Structure 1
Amino acid sequence: MPISASALAAPVMALAFPAIDPVAVAIGPFAIRWYALAYITGLVGGWLYARRLVSAASLWGGVPRPSVTDIDDMLVYVALGVVLGGRLGYVLFYNPGQYFADPLSIFAVWQGGMAFHGGLAGAAVAMALLARARKIPILSFFDVAATVAPIGLFFGRIANFINGELWGRPAPDLPFAVVFPNGGPVPRHPSQLYEALAEGVLLFLLVAAVVRVAGFRRPGLVTGVFAAGYAIARSACEFFREPDPQLGFLFGTQVSALEGGVTMGMLLSLPLLIAGLWLVRRALDREPRAGEETA
């Protein structure tokens, strides 16, 4: 995206990008990157929290709930769904031309390129298959996953920052703007950290508050709150995030640092927002399942 001359002017203050090696651990030719650790930490952290949630009968009332064993299996299903769906979503929505020209590069996941919306769809399909096999209501799985998903989002966005990718728009006058190694000499919004706060911390607290008040006695309520909350948080952060260079703005053009057209992230979040609001309305229109479920 073209950068204005004013954006190239020397900033009053700017932070140098922290020199963090993207490789966390290297033993000979074997290397573990922070990005991979973020995925592992998010999945394991969510799995442990999910086990506690399904063990708390008071949160469920009379709603059928997954067992701890179901949650153990869900970890494997979700991991596969996130990776496959995230990669496929990135290929189809963000860079189809490159991958259709070189199909084998689709499998080069170590080079980066994952889409949250694709990963969410992949995880949803995986959980639906597991729920059908175990004869458990799909929304019971979805509500648990929605409660723990912000954990993975938080660590994923921190990994994006460490990798120096998905940086923000130019912000030469911002005291805490960051000059990213691959983002040119212009100080930029650390939008990855904004997303870690909004999609990770704040969304986690919002969903946890809903669980604390309503539990899982209204199937779909937690899922709806998460979906709508993520869509709003992601769309808000898109105003600070630099659009993908191969796409730019889908509609409209940038006028200032906080203005611009519609991005792919905003477009993909719209159906998520609609679905989330519909689920919330549907859940609130139904009476909660009272009583404590017995084993």
Structure 2
Amino acid sequence: MPPHTGLPFPDIDPVLFEIGPFALRWYALAYIVGILLAWRYMRALIQNDRLWAGQKRPTAADLDDFVLWGTLGIIIGGRLGYVLFYNPAYYLEHPAEALAIWTGGMSFHGGFAGTVIAMVLFAASRGVSVLTLFDLAGCAAPIGIFFGRIANFINAELWGRPTDVPWAFVFPGAGPEPRHPSQLYEAALEGVILFLVLRVLSYRFQLLQKPGFLAGAFAFGYGIGRSIAEFYRVPDAHIGYLSGFFTMGMLLSVPMILAGLAVMIWSATRKPKAVAE
């Protein structure tokens, strides 16, 4: 039986359209759509009284104002995370390129940290529960992650390891070997599956009434999904494997898994405070 030669990579231009000097890339569109849909989903959650049983939550106006804070946290944190965690030597020599977000190169873990900081500052300035804000953002974050991973696939970046599975692709710039479409694996694990799990926890088990639990579930679930995907994804060439099969993505996911598990246990066992209408 002849070896599997791989599926041809779809010929998708990373630039959606250009008008003069302005170019809209799929990568940028993924962020825009992901953020807008996540915002709408958070609004739907706070407007469903059945999920809260009188538990105090942010208002629609609060979430509208938070969109800018969260967007800045995602973009600034994501880019700084990539620069500091994945390629500090290169950007030390080319500091101007550290701002070139449109070329790709965003770290989820950096974006996560940036968003957490933005949420803490916003909650303090508006007098809303930071734990509840964490929960809402955690429920909605997989939407943005899904679109971001699809954009990674369109950009033919962050490809997977060589394989002979029938759905392997030959990625441009990655050599002739068929490879795992690891971006699509991450879109499924960190996006679709994690979103559905959190939706069940929020709607069926009504865990928005236990502040912090869903935020912990998101961190734990993302860390697990990312660690699984790392077994199929090629680590950044300038970093490689840290030890054996261990990668930078796995290393950065370990604190998320441990912290997420700790927060879920803490939230599930803490005594509820009096409900404030």
* TM-score class normalised by the smaller sequence: over 0.9
Unaligned 5+ residue runs, structure 2?
A: none
Task: Find out whether 1:119 has 2:103 as its counterpart.
Answer: no
- State yes or no: 1:209 paired with 2:193: no
The partner residue of 2:25 within 30, 33, 45 is: 33
CA distance, structure 2, for counterparts of residue 52 and residue 24 of structure 1: 30
Alignment of structure 1 residues 52-201 onto 2, 5 Å? 52-171=44-163, 173-201=164-192
Aligned partners of 1:288, 1:199: CA distance in 2, in Å? 30
The answer (yes or no) to whether the contact 1:42–1:152 under 8 Å persists in 2 is: yes
- In the aligned structure 2, how far is the partner of 1:287 from the partner of 1:53? 24
Residues 278/271 of structure 1: CA separation in 2 closer, same or farther (3 Å cut): same
SS in 1 for 2:208: coil
Unaligned runs of 5+ in 1: 1-9, 253-260
TM-score w.r.t. the length of structure 2 is: 0.96
Offset, 1:289:
6.3
Maintained 8 Å contact 1:160/1:192: yes
2-structure distance, mates of 1:88, 1:54: 31
What amino acid is aligned across from residue 60 of structure 1 in structure 2?
Answer: W
Q: Percent identity?
A: 53
Matched to 2:76, the amino acid is: L
In the alignment, what sits opposite 1:219? 211
1:274 aligns with 2:261: no
CA distance in 2, matches of 1:141, 1:53: 11
Q: CA deviation at 1:290?
A: 8.2
Contact 2:26-2:154 at 8 Å conserved across structures? yes
Distance 1:288 1:164 in 2: 48
Distance in 1, Cα, partners of 2:175 & 2:112: 32
Stretch of structure 1 that moved more, 145-154 or 11-20: 11-20
Per-residue deviation, 1:46: 0.4
Q: Distance in 1 between matches of 2:257 and 2:54?
A: 28
| Residue pair 1:194, 1:237 contacting (<8 A) in 2 also | yes
Question: Post-superposition, which runs of at least 4 consecutive aligned residues in structure 1 deviate over 3 A?
Answer: 287-291
SS of structure 2 residue aligned to 1:216: helix
Task: State the 1:287 CA deviation.
Answer: 4.2
Contact conserved, 1:62 with 1:290, CA < 8 A, in 2? no
TM-score, length-scaled by structure 1: 0.90
The secondary structure found in structure 1 opposite 2:23 is: strand
Measure, in 1, the Cα distance between the counterparts of 2:215 and 2:63: 17
CA contact (8 A) 2:27 2:102 kept: no
Deviation at 1:102, TM superposition (A): 1.8
